[in-house]
Structure 1
């Protein structure tokens, strides 16, 4: 009877609320009925092995959401450890030791569903305000973000990694003459666009003076050769198109070739077949607007003059504060426009100026915020009623005197901070380049490490002293780094291990910390405390050792 009763309970349906709760708590179905069940596997030395069902469902849930990574706990009991899964690289990472294992989904998603997943991930990232929401974030991107760098994943690559250093194209690209000639051609091209717009009245090659056609072809040939030379200097196509400047030049050259050669040839043969001079092909003149895209090449000037780039970067950085201030200004204008609209219904002249809210917003912005003829406008309001004039004065104070001036101050502050950061980064890069050149000469073992014996010879180099002084560093302070750089390292078991060499990057980090303009941080205070504790422990150990041997000496004498 008990068995039958239990079987009856199994056959009895659950209440509706319990079914809804179970459906809400259950993991999302990864595949439609009739398809193969989804399995996630991790790579073992003997082959791929399945995750358990709970882990597999959790991974699939985040994968279908379009996430770029997810965290989970793998294993049971004491063997359970945190894991990170990166879907772009399809790897599982142990954050404790950064060990990686490949993973895979069985079956794999089709190409359309992969694109749909990518689009879903972008929408979700954009909705929550995630940084770089348009990017597919790999493990390298997250590692770069954790390290505090704001550059792209390929920022650490040197010329040796990207270029063919033994090629003539690389020598030409890095030469001062080629760079200056490219800049002059960019400026000349930008100036020529003005001349072409004002004096070239032709629409096609048939009615364009030959001088303009000749100059167009000269610029097209030069910029094409420039892109070819730049492209030839790189090791691979991937490395070439990782350079954004080259990518922009390539797109502009393609448009220029299409407009100067392909389109003009098509116009010539088409007009010849129709037997006219091209008057019937005015639709081709619309494509002359493509010439305006050549103005984008003037952005290359920012590469030649870093000061302009700093100003541009400051403006881009301040765009958030700029939009916030403009939005607040719009709210003030909107409120005052409604007030004036409700108060001016009985006066025909005021109705003409504030009869509708959009009209009131426009007049308030022109006369109040921009103060275009504000004296006459304010006098007319005062003649109507002194209350109107008081309201207008309040709006002028809030908009022109407060919001716009505050906006100017915010922009100046942001540009100043960006300028200081860029100046500091440029000085750091120059210092590192100069120090690495000297360090490489003293690296006897060619292992990229600075040994203690090499450090003693390095600090006596007069060129290093001159370089350090030019960046506000003291050579005597660097000489006293010997004790800090090569202090014994304490292991987990408490034993001390002697350190006789450090990497070049560690040496440069220590040197850059000695700059007089640096501000003390919490990290510096923690390192100072750790260093003092070690020194005190060392002194205590020495005192204990001396006391022990003194006692032994007294015992022997007695």
Structure 2
């Protein structure tokens, strides 16, 4: 490449812009160096950002698997087989339900304070329930590989307390009475009845086997904050109307009945105008003496009973539906991740924890994997179309970690909606290709400039030869 001075000495004046072209070429080279430095810095920044994103994704997908008490059990054996049996689990739930119903029967028909004085039917039932729950506790306790780990399971500790109170009440107290010769109740009767009522808390175990009920419970707990705000607003409205009606109703007969004080006024508005209990008599008594007070009551009914209570129902429905969607999504995601881990462990020939294109094809032939993908809304047939895009880059087959593979699979769900994040991901994927195209265009531009310069040199030589021929 000639310098601007060299080209200026040989470039004839008949070729305008020659010196300007070379100066611009030199300037472009300087700008190109600066752009290259900036691109290098940006590349390092992108590498750091990708590293952070990969760490976050790994933390999400590498979360500890959900807690299962079975992990603390023996790998094999009689006790584990019984404790993990679906028949045993379902039988326990049935007995818990029957015991809950029996507590109601015992409360209505058993008038004896002492079990030994009760009707034989009640004695047989109590002993049968105590035997079953004691045997169930023994089976679960013997299933633990390390008995100390039983204290790490909250449900087992809770059941241990219930079984202990049941054994003390059913067998311990009668044996103590027989041994000491005491008669009557040992300890306060209310305490013994309270311990008996604690057995109803076993119904909580049934919630674990019914995920839909757990979703409703979690939704109600999540909505508590919004419900408190709605009740707070309702209390403020009731307080304001209570003060107004207490003052405006002075001198009327219904004042002494419903609005003697602010507290009584709020109670009357809550019972009659919010819960709408005997609203007709309440309004008739006010209408007979004061139409302005009746109008105020009507406005309160419109605000409290119709607007606020319906708003409360709407808030509960919205929050419960949102929690249900989130819980179902999380449950399906955890399920498919666990199943895919098991399938990968079966097809991972080199045991490196990564997934190659061949291993991916093996996964696609596993019925369990295909069923898991269908459950989360991934089309296995359509996933095959993306296989080359996922595992082949620049014509070279690559391997990816399980976390990255699952992240890509979850992004392929048909229910996913395009978001700004997806557009940015698409832009980040297209950007390298655009940069490569720009680089190719720059190379073409440089070669064109070189050819142009060579043509200029040839033109100069031709003109020199032409002038020499003319002078001859």
Q: Give the C-alpha shift of residue 206 in structure 1.
A: 3.7
Task: Kindly indicate whether residue 199 of structure 2 is the aligned counterpart of residue 294 of structure 1.
Answer: yes
The residue that corresponds to 2:399 in the other structure is 501
Please state which structure has a larger fraction of its residues in helix: 2
Task: Kindly indicate whether residue 297 of structure 2 is the aligned counterpart of residue 387 of structure 1.
Answer: no
Q: Give the C-alpha shift of residue 258 in structure 1.
A: 2.3
* Separation of aligned partners in 2, 1:255 and 1:360: 47
The alpha-carbon distance between structure 1 residues 394 and 543, as it changes in their structure 2 partners (threshold 3 A), is same
* Separation of aligned partners in 2, 1:209 and 1:269: 22
1:16-27 paired onto structure 2 within 5 Å: none
Deviations 1:76-99 (A, max 9, x none): xxxxxxxxxxxxxxxxxxxxx99x
1:65-76 paired onto structure 2 within 5 Å: none
TM-score for the superposition, normalised by structure 2: 0.74
The alpha-carbon distance between structure 1 residues 238 and 410, as it changes in their structure 2 partners (threshold 3 A), is farther
The residue that corresponds to 2:389 in the other structure is 483
Structure 1 residue runs without a partner (length 5+)? 1-96, 99-142, 489-497, 554-558
1:63-142 paired onto structure 2 within 5 Å: none
> Do 1:451 and 1:501's aligned partners in 2 also have CA atoms closer than 8 Å?
yes
Of 210, 219, 234, the residue aligned with 1:314 is 219
Q: Give the C-alpha shift of residue 280 in structure 1.
A: 6.8
Of 506, 512, 516, the residue aligned with 2:414 is 516
Deviations 1:85-125 (A, max 9, x none): xxxxxxxxxxxx99xxxxxxxxxxxxxxxxxxxxxxxxxxx
The residue that corresponds to 1:409 in the other structure is 314
Q: Give the C-alpha shift of residue 166 in structure 1.
A: 2.1
Please state which structure has a larger fraction of its residues in strand: 1
Q: Which structure would you say has the larger Rg?
A: 2
The alpha-carbon distance between structure 1 residues 206 and 544, as it changes in their structure 2 partners (threshold 3 A), is same
Q: Which has the higher contact order (CA 8 A, sep 6+)?
A: 2
Task: Kindly indicate whether residue 352 of structure 2 is the aligned counterpart of residue 442 of structure 1.
Answer: no
> Do 1:206 and 1:268's aligned partners in 2 also have CA atoms closer than 8 Å?
no
> Do 2:356 and 2:399's aligned partners in 1 also have CA atoms closer than 8 Å?
yes
Task: Kindly indicate whether residue 154 of structure 2 is the aligned counterpart of residue 244 of structure 1.
Answer: yes
The residue that corresponds to 1:229 in the other structure is 139
Q: Give the C-alpha shift of residue 531 in structure 1.
A: 1.0
Deviations 1:119-172 (A, max 9, x none): xxxxxxxxxxxxxxxxxxxxxxxx99x9679xxx96555678533322333322
> Do 2:287 and 2:294's aligned partners in 1 also have CA atoms closer than 8 Å?
yes
Q: Give the C-alpha shift of residue 181 in structure 1.
A: 0.4
The alpha-carbon distance between structure 1 residues 544 and 159, as it changes in their structure 2 partners (threshold 3 A), is farther
> Do 2:258 and 2:265's aligned partners in 1 also have CA atoms closer than 8 Å?
yes
> Do 1:205 and 1:268's aligned partners in 2 also have CA atoms closer than 8 Å?
no
Q: Give the C-alpha shift of residue 412 in structure 1.
A: 0.8
* Separation of aligned partners in 2, 1:453 and 1:437: 17
The alpha-carbon distance between structure 1 residues 505 and 174, as it changes in their structure 2 partners (threshold 3 A), is farther
Structure 2 residue runs without a partner (length 5+)? 1-50, 452-472
Task: Kindly indicate whether residue 437 of structure 2 is the aligned counterpart of residue 536 of structure 1.
Answer: no
1:172-183 paired onto structure 2 within 5 Å: 172-183=82-93
- Alignment length, in residue pairs? 398
Q: Give the C-alpha shift of residue 353 in structure 1.
A: 1.5
* Separation of aligned partners in 1, 2:448 and 2:381: 38
> Do 2:116 and 2:123's aligned partners in 1 also have CA atoms closer than 8 Å?
no
